Structure 1
Amino acid sequence: MDITQISNPSEWRFVARGNANAVYQYNGLKKQLKRKVLRMRIKKSLEQYVPTLELYNFLSVKCEQKLQKYILETELVKVTPRFISELETQGFELMASEHFAFLMDNILYGEFDTFELSKNCKLHLQESPPCELKSIILELKPKWLYDCKTNYCRNCSLNQYRNLERHFCPLDFLKVNSIGKGINDFLSKVPKNSKIVDIASNELRGLLGAYLARLDNVFQTIKVLQEIKDTNDIICNVKCKDDISDDLLFAMTLRDVGVFLIFTKFIPEEKNETLGYTVTAHVYDLDLKLREKYEYWKATDLLLEDYYNACNKQWSICNADEYLD
């Protein structure tokens, strides 16, 4: 599909950006685009850039096979330099030489109240009057998921290095005996400023607990796929970019993906049925990493060596119960 033939740049409103991509929500009248977003690539040097077509091939060949039920519906669409140049930007440039973009389902279609709880973690609430929840959406990046054998995991060590305030440890979502602690920490940053937020917090405690107790949940799936099976694929053992295997590149991609966890209230068809929520999980930002980044990965690992087994009174130990006598 050529998106420039069925829409104008003015119909796409900028809504979000990350380090590599900018997202535009469709605000025009075309029915086929009504619940869609357009994901465009942000300008990078050619050495640091992966074209959208290559990303789409990676998504189709490598990711769909392993994460099929979690991947957002994505269509490769054509764009032109003129179309790109006329899209709204806010302090960044788009890659003008790009020929393609991703057309994707808009998870946040409609009116939402959004709360930024911490870096890479948001809570989106959709309300249906009078003061009832329609849907609860968690948006987060779980980052590195693995069995931690040090005081602090890689995620918490990096956040300490960056002098960020502690929120929650994603590894707590992986163990039955730490799920409760992880949920409590997660909810601790939810503002208590309205009745609907209080309702959401109470609902979410049970919903998230039930979902995380499932062995087939999205975080367990990502953890398994991140697993390094060859010692040569451990970052500290990499000597040059040619040492980077396809398996390591895939693992590094999964260590930077985002997750949408969507709880949607359903209305029972029968009178004797109780109200409840359906749960859907989606993984996004499945962007192939460049081998050239290995030097950055190694440098980061070296920076964190002093944090893994440190003692920080402001940060609870990761999965501490597993290391108690």
Structure 2
Amino acid sequence: MQFTVTILGAGSATPTLGRHPSAQLISYENENFLIDCGEGTQMRLLEYKIRPSRLKAIFISHLHGDHYFGLIALLSSLNLGGRTDDLHLFGPRGLDEILLLQFKYSQTPLHFAIHFTAVDTTQHTQVFDHPCFTVHTIPLQHRVPCAGYLFREKLHKRKLIKEKISDQMSYECLKKLKNAEHIYDESGAILYNFEEYTLPAPAPRSYAYCSDTRYYEQLAEYIKGVDLLYHEATFMEDLAQQAYERYHATAKDAARIARKAEVGRLLLGHFSSRYKEFSGFLQEAQSIFVATAIAEEGKTFAVQSTST
């Protein structure tokens, strides 16, 4: 099953030409989910030929403008486009008030329902239950209430070996085999051993999005062993003190968390506008955690299992 992350924006608060505020698209099979929605996100979706109408849910990390100023525009366009399907929206308390006031004073009646869930940014809690995966909040340390999001696949069923399946096997029999259950005959002997008729299920995959946060070690506990981690890296190490005071992280901070959490791969993003290129970020991070890449805008990263 497809499980990918497309980087729509990886810049920080101050805008620059050719760089966009935070936004990422999670694609799982034929469904799309948005994490953060900085200014111009809907234009980025159009640029990459992604239909905004296919969005199932939106997750906002915190209420600094570079992470949600594009939300009202996106919702308004969905409304104008005739959307009628419900939309799930997750974010810190207060986001619902902002949207209600905006739509009230612009006299914009929505033609679709928004189901808003106010997340507790201090807790690691499940907030969304999809048939194929769950989403948990990740408490972060920022100047305002802020939470990351952890997407974790549910356990897959074992795969049937088609060549070994016979017409005598009922649907219930096949279902049990896929669930790793033996089939017994009337005497209690094993009739069908699930290990002979099925293949092991692929390992479940996971993706963690850690938005604005300064370094703190407890974060590693929430994201232990994830396959792909996105962690902000607003500054390089020469501005480490400034990063900490502003509740942000450096590239080395992100790499330290990735190493401590034993993740599969690390993506760096949320770069300060003072930096014109990112090779220095990569060098600093890879000195601590080799499997590091830059969250290049427009690039799609596959979430792949790194379990051994």
Bigger-Rg structure (1/2)? 2
Bigger share in strand = 2
Alignment TM-score, normalising by the size of structure 2: 0.24
Bigger share in helix = 1
